[in-house]
Amino acid sequence: RRGNDNHFRCTYVLPDGITHTKGFVKDPIEAQRYLTLDEDGELPHSEETDDADQTEAKNKPSERSKVDLTKNEFSLSNERFLVPEMIFRPADLGMNQAGLAECIVRAVNSCHPHLHPVLYESIILTGGSTLFPGFAKRLENDLRPLVPDVYQVKITTQEDPILGVWRGGSLLASSPDFDA
């Protein structure tokens, strides 16, 4: 859907280095509306919202002509999902690469078969991209059909996935068994 009919549309405010040092979503409640989709994939309708949208649409002849460049704001819709989707299905974006689930299966299959059950039960998500909402569940849903049913898939997320790798490397480097 395009324009105001797109349920995934939200406005981001970019940092200007003076009043805002970090970018943010202008209306977080509006940005999270997609989480309340009903069974049919539609948003619950309220007459108040519909009336407000119609009034707002009448008052705005053209949303593009009213862009205020001094506010450092821009609207995104489906672009919000392209980065996470690229991790799972890069072929959809024209990249001849395997998605994350396929890469995990390939990595596990390259190891000795006796290690497969242990590896599938020890998947640890780390890095900033794992903070996308629903990342672990999506990975599990994509991974489960690719893994033989005899193996259990267990995905663990870290409390702070951004610094997790650094902490692990720090522990390894400080261990007495590590030779530099």
pLDDT bucket at 48, cuts 50 / 70 / 90: very low
Does residue 54 have a pLDDT over 60?
Answer: no
Q: Which residue has the higher pLDDT, 157 or 19?
A: 157
Q: Between 3.30.9.10, 3.30.420.40, 3.40.50.10860, 3.30.70.1050, what CATH number should domain 83-174 receive?
A: 3.30.420.40
Domain ranges for the chain: 3-76, 83-174
- The pair of structure tokens assigned to 7 is 């349920």
pLDDT bucket at 64, cuts 50 / 70 / 90: very low
pLDDT bucket at 113, cuts 50 / 70 / 90: very high
